[in-house]
Amino acid sequence: MAILIYICFVTDLIRPYTPLESANSRVTRFAVSLPEYVDKTKIGVNLPAMHVLCRLGGIAHLRVATIHDGETTRSYPSIVGVSRGGEAVSGLNSVQTVVPTHSINSQDLDKGVTLVGNRHPCRFINTTVTINTNETNTRILNDKKWTRGVRSPEAWGYHIDTAVKHGILKSGLHHLVFGLSKLDAINVGIQYCLMAFFEIQKGPTIESAVGRFFTVSGMLNLINFAFASIQGKEYRLSTIYGPQVDRAIALALISSKTTLVKGIPDST
Beta bridge partners of 89: 81
Distances in whole angstroms, Cα of residue 89 to Cα of each of 118, 160, 169:
57, 41, 45
CA distance from start to end of the chain? 31
- For residue 155, the SS3 value is helix
Q: Span 70-75, mean pLDDT?
A: 72
Q: Span 143-167, mean pLDDT?
A: 94
- For residue 204, the SS3 value is coil
Using alpha carbons, select from 219, 225, 5, 264 the residue that is nearest to residue 120. 225
Is the pLDDT confidence value at 4 over 60?
A: no
Are 59 and 126 contacting, i.e. CB atoms less than 8 angstroms apart? yes
Beta bridge partners of 96: 75
Is the pLDDT confidence value at 136 over 50?
A: yes
Using alpha carbons, select from 1, 7, 86 the residue that is nearest to residue 50. 7
Instruction: Tell me the C-alpha distance between 96 and 118, whole Å.
Output: 43
Domain boundaries, the chain: 2-69+100-179+247-263, 183-231
**Predicted pLDDT of residue 89:** 47
pTM of the model: 0.79
Which segments of the chain does DSSP mark as H helices, in order?
Answer: 2-14, 47-57, 133-142, 153-178, 182-202, 206-231, 245-256
Sign of CA dihedral 191, 197, 201, 205: positive
- Which region among 87-91, 206-210, 248-252 has the lowest average model confidence (pLDDT)? 87-91
- For residue 107, the SS3 value is strand
